[in-house]
Amino acid sequence: MKSKTETLAEFAKNDLFARFIGIELLEISAGRALAKLEIKDSHLNGVGIAHGGAIFTLADLAFAAAANSYGDSTVAVAINVNVSYIKAAGKGTLYAEAVEISKSAKIGTYSAKITNEKGELIASFQGMGYRKSKKLQ
């Protein structure tokens, strides 16, 4: 059986896009995950603030980790995501914490809050995952 640290390391390593962007998975437990992204120049949009796509991807990784936190022989893929952007974020650290709202055999609902280092809410994310009977790679 894998240790929690191994699971974390593997999950983060396998997500090439999250790794490319610089997202770090900090914590994972049953139905919950916490991720982090250091906002640098390469994460800014045309208005000079953290890009909606970077914020989305951060929350999406936390969502995916929470949805796949049980280590069983299924994999949950996102089918719908809704994001509300609350406050612009500049350079600095952003965190996304995803928690499970509901889970049935096939469908799980997750909510994530994206906050900055002062704990201010930057965006609110809600995602639905669909569980397939295929092992996570």
Q: Which of 74, 81, 99, 116 binds a copy of itself (CB under 8 A)?
A: 81
CA distance 101 to 69: 14
| Dihedral sign computed on CA atoms, order 99, 16, 36, 38 | negative
Q: How far apart are the first and last CA of the chain?
A: 16
Q: Which of 52, 71, 90, 92 binds a copy of itself (CB under 8 A)?
A: 52
Q: Taking CB under 8 A as the rule, does residue 26 contact a copy of itself?
A: no
Q: Taking CB under 8 A as the rule, does residue 101 contact a copy of itself?
A: yes
CA distances from 23 to 61, 72, 102, 120 (A): 8, 24, 25, 19
DSSP one-letter code for 43: G
Q: How far is the CB of 18 from a copy of itself (least distance, A)?
A: 7
For binding to a copy of itself (CB under 8 A), which residues are involved? 11, 14-18, 20-21, 41-48, 51-54, 56-57, 60-61, 64, 68, 75, 77-88, 101-102, 104, 106-107, 109, 111, 121, 124, 126, 128, 130, 136-137
